[in-house]
Amino acid sequence: MEKIADSIETLLKNKLTSYQGLTELLTQERDAIVDMDVASLWEASNRKKKIAKNIESLRNSILYLFEQEGIEHSMDVGSFSLAQLLTLVSFSKPEKLALGALKFAIDKEKAEVARLSMENQNHVQERLEVVEGLVATLLPIPDNGWYGWTGSEVSPAKANCFISQEV
């Protein structure tokens, strides 16, 4: 079991590194949102996709490792559960501690990724609302209904015409 524990530990360290990279990328993405740097946002999006594929590949590798050892798990990448996988093998106490510490670090990094992702979504929403407010101030709103952020029709409000001109 020592061999499988070492292999799992290596894969989990790589997975932790990927999540740490994602955390760093989301922090850079927040700065790009604040600066309204669209080119950086596109680059960040592409890099996030690569990291996500890497994490998926690592999950596949861990599942394949269990299959090679003949350990039944009935999981795929979409239903991957590290906690459940680790219960399927009896590890020595030092191996359990090492793998448990890595699992804890990965879970902590995942929570940070989720927090940063939600913050970035909120920043984008705030910026879009500012732009929408500016557009509503500068341009008259048409008399017929228009669609809001939720996709439903919104009744038009009287615009504060800041600039108006007839030709």
Of 47, 79, 49, whose CA–CA distance to 63 is shortest? 79
User: How far are the Cα atoms of 37, 104, 116, 127, 144 from residue 13, in angstroms, in the given order?
Assistant: 32, 12, 21, 37, 57
Q: What is the mean pLDDT of residues 112-133?
A: 90
Q: Hey, which residues does 153 pair with through a beta bridge?
A: 147
Domain spans of the chain, in order of start: 2-154
Tell me the C-alpha distance between 65 and 7, whole Å: 8
Tell me the C-alpha distance between 123 and 132, whole Å: 14
Q: What is the pLDDT of residues 69-122, one digit of tens each?
A: 888 888 888 888 888 888 888 888 999 899 999 999 999 999 999 999 999 999
Model confidence at 145, in pLDDT bands (50, 70, 90)? Answer: low
User: What is the assigned CATH class of domain 2-154?
Assistant: mainly alpha
Phi, psi of 147 (to 5 degrees): -90, 135
Let me know the angle formed at the C-alpha of 121 by 117 and 123, rounded to the nearest 5 degrees.
115
> pTM for this one?
0.75
Question: How confident is the prediction for the chain on average, in pLDDT?
Answer: 84
Model confidence at 49: pLDDT above 70: yes
Of 4, 7, 15, whose CA–CA distance to 105 is shortest? 15
Looking at residue 14, its pLDDT comes to: 96
Looking at residue 76, its pLDDT comes to: 82
